[in-house]
Amino acid sequence: MIHLLHDFLVIVGRYAISAFAAIGRLSGFAGSALSHIVRPPLYLGLTGRQMLSIGYFSLPVVGLTALFTGSALAQQVYIASTRFNAESAVASVNVIAIVRELGPVLGGLMVAGRVSSAMAAELGTMRVTEQIDALTTLSTDPMKYLVVPRLIAAVVTLPLLVIVANTIGVFGGFVVATQRLGFNAASYLQVTVDYLEASDVISSLVKAAVFGLIIAMMGSYHGYHSRGGAQGVGRATTNAVVSAFILILLANLIITVMVFGT
């Protein structure tokens, strides 16, 4: 019995130590990366290239996600609201749900799936093929050259993507409501504009920026610390996506409670 308890405590202790070590490593990495943002040089060309890769090339997947989600949401809200004769709520519920939650969260998750994995795979491959060591020997700080451009690009680009996602999501709801559910176009748009508040848009953009930071940080961190060849790179890619997903959902909860909880 005592042996079993001992073994159990050893396992728990081992996991606790490795969890604290991982948090410590991540904190150190994040601190170092953020400190490099405020110290020159900044690689603007690389940052621009990353913005194109993260932002422009994510537009189709984010746009389609928002379109389908906004359309389905309008249909669902209509069906639910008919139960208590509140069909007029479709426009208001749709815009609030899209802008406050679904636009940033689904947009963030889609970009995380696309971008975190790509960053982890790219940096992980550079790590195991010694390209990151080569950067250091060529007097170039890998953190500054590889990580900072990705961080800046993701934080700047995600809010822009979410603006697009929100617009397309609301448009999807508008199309379903007016073409299928018989809503008047002008009054639907009027209700949408009336119910949308500045705090909704600001919280949406803040969430997007935070999600951008999480996406780039997880992709870079797991790739940068990748070990053990192809298998290690594969593991880094999986860990980057899973951790980005969980942290995005956690951050969304925290920001939602902080902004709308009172």
Please report whether residue 136 would count as binding other proteins according to CB under 8 A: yes
Of the pair 87, 141, the CB lying nearest other proteins is at 141
- CA–CA separation, 195 vs 125, rounded Å? 48
* Residue from 137, 186, 198, 261 in contact with other proteins (CB under 8 A): 137
CA-to-CA separations, 81 to 88, 176, 183, 195, in angstroms, rounded:
8, 15, 14, 17
Please work out the total of residues on this chain that contact other proteins, with binding judged by CB under 8 A. Answer: 14
Omega cis (within 30) before 40: no
**Residue 118 contacts residue 241 (beta carbons within 8 Å):** no
- CA–CA separation, 101 vs 203, rounded Å? 9
Of the pair 81, 140, the CB lying nearest other proteins is at 140
Q: Which two tokens stand for residue 79?
A: 């069906």
Please report whether residue 53 would count as binding other proteins according to CB under 8 A: no
Shortest separation between residue 6's beta carbon and other proteins, angstroms: 22
Residues 103, 105, 110, CA angle at the centre, nearest 5°?
Answer: 95
Please report whether residue 85 would count as binding other proteins according to CB under 8 A: no
Q: Considering only residues 104 through 133, tell me which ones interact with other proteins, judged by CB under 8 A.
A: 125-126, 129-131, 133
Please report whether residue 87 would count as binding other proteins according to CB under 8 A: no
**Residue 155 contacts residue 212 (beta carbons within 8 Å):** yes
Of the pair 82, 136, the CB lying nearest other proteins is at 136
Of the pair 100, 127, the CB lying nearest other proteins is at 127
Please report whether residue 139 would count as binding other proteins according to CB under 8 A: yes
* Residue from 140, 167, 178, 256 in contact with other proteins (CB under 8 A): 140
Q: Which two tokens stand for residue 218?
A: 């997880």
Of the pair 50, 157, the CB lying nearest other proteins is at 50
Give the contacts of 75 (CB within 8 A, at least 6 positions apart): 176, 180, 181
Q: Is 130 helix (H, G, I), strand (E, B) or coil?
A: coil
Helix 148-179 to helix 59-82 angle, to the nearest 10 degrees?
Answer: 40
Please report whether residue 141 would count as binding other proteins according to CB under 8 A: yes
Shortest separation between residue 33's beta carbon and other proteins, angstroms: 15
- With CB under 8 A as the contact rule, which of the stretches 5-13, 102-110, 134-142, 161-169 interacts with other proteins? 134-142
* Residue from 30, 42, 64, 145 in contact with other proteins (CB under 8 A): 145
Residues at the contact surface with other proteins, assessed by CB under 8 A: 125-126, 129-131, 133-134, 136-141, 145
